[in-house]
């Protein structure tokens, strides 16, 4: 099917970058969030980003103007989603909240609308039955920072129609992304399962006092060739998000092995959530 209008729910760090990527890809985009201050920051980011790309010669003034005209911001979810061909949900990693949102979207959106979740770990089969259109529900997982990272994971769940997955893959390509297709669901998909295994072991080594987080990062970068270590990556992704992901899996499984690391809990309580807060495992002075 032809996708022209996209709604992005959630204007946080992931949501507003997904929305801007879609606008740059030529789609008409409405970005929605319940918090007005988050929407204001998202709109300001879009303005600043496009101006900076033009100033650096990375984008023509005409292309920047077109992209800006393609994107709008609203706190009204119904207004944002009522005429969308595709909705990309980018809210908190909380299953019940996502199910509630998808049930509302099912009532708001036209019958043809595809409902995709940007969840980092939660498979869409846990959400699809909250709607009357499970065949039009799938995972479309972007990576942070969205405007830089090319990969998008498209998950073809047991309920997902082949046309749905193929349409979402085509949308990702038009946004300038490199989609990979998962032919079956698995918790955490491809990349995050690999990254999670490294992060879990790194946090275990830190919790046990084997080495400092700086030395663990240094080892991973200089021995494994990663562009950044697991703790620097945690700061980039958001320690609050990593905590929520760990807690969600613990809630789902009841397995204490998935409880968040004591270091993550400490950082969460101190609101040292990484780059967005100016401090996580490392400090990030304001420019």
Positions annotated as catalytic residues are 120, 141, 153, 192
Residue 242, classed as helix, strand or coil, is helix
Helix axes 36-55, 61-70, angle to 10 degrees: 160
Residues contacting 210, CB < 8 A, separation 6+: none
Q: Which residue has the tokens 């760090």?
A: 13
Q: How many whole angstroms separate alpha carbon 212 and alpha carbon 15?
A: 33
Q: Taking a C-beta distance cutoff of 8 angstroms, is the pair 232, 281 a contact?
A: yes
To the nearest 10°, report the CA torsion of 72, 77, 79, 85. Answer: 80
Beta strands in 238-286 (DSSP E): none
């Amino acid at each position: 099917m032809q996708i022209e209008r996209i709604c992005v729910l959630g204007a946080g760090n992931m949501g507003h970058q997904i929305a801007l990527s879609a606008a740059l890809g030529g789609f008409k985009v409405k970005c929605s969030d319940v918090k007005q201050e988050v929407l204001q920051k998202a709109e300001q980011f879009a303005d600043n980003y496009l101006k900076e790309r033009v100033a650096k010669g990375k984008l023509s003034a005409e292309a920047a103007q077109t992209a800006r005209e393609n994107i709008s911001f609203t706190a009204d979810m119904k207004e944002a989603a009522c005429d969308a061909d595709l909705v990309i949900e980018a809210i908190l990693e909380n299953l019940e909240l996502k199910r509630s949102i998808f049930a509302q979207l099912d009532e708001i959106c036209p019958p043809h609308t595809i409902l995709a979740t940007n969840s980092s770990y939660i498979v869409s089969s846990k959400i699809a039955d909250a709607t009357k259109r499970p065949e039009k529900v799938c995972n479309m997982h972007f990576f942070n920072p969205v405007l830089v990272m090319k990969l998008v994971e498209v998950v073809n769940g047991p309920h997902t129609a082949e046309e749905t997955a193929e349409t979402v893959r085509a949308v990702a390509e038009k946004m300038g992304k490199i989609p990979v297709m998962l032919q079956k669901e698995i918790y955490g998909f491809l990349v995050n399962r690999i990254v999670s295994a490294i992060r879990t072991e790194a946090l275990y080594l830190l919790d046990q006092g084997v080495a400092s987080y700086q030395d663990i990062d240094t080892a991973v970068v200089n021995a494994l060739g990663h562009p950044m270590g697991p703790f620097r990556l945690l700061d980039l992704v958001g320690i609050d998000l990593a905590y929520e992901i760990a807690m969600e899996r613990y809630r789902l499984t009841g397995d204490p092995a998935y409880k968040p690391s004591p270091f993550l809990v400490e950082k969460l309580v101190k609101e040292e959530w990484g780059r967005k807060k100016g401090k996580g495992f490392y400090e990030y002075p304001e420019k």
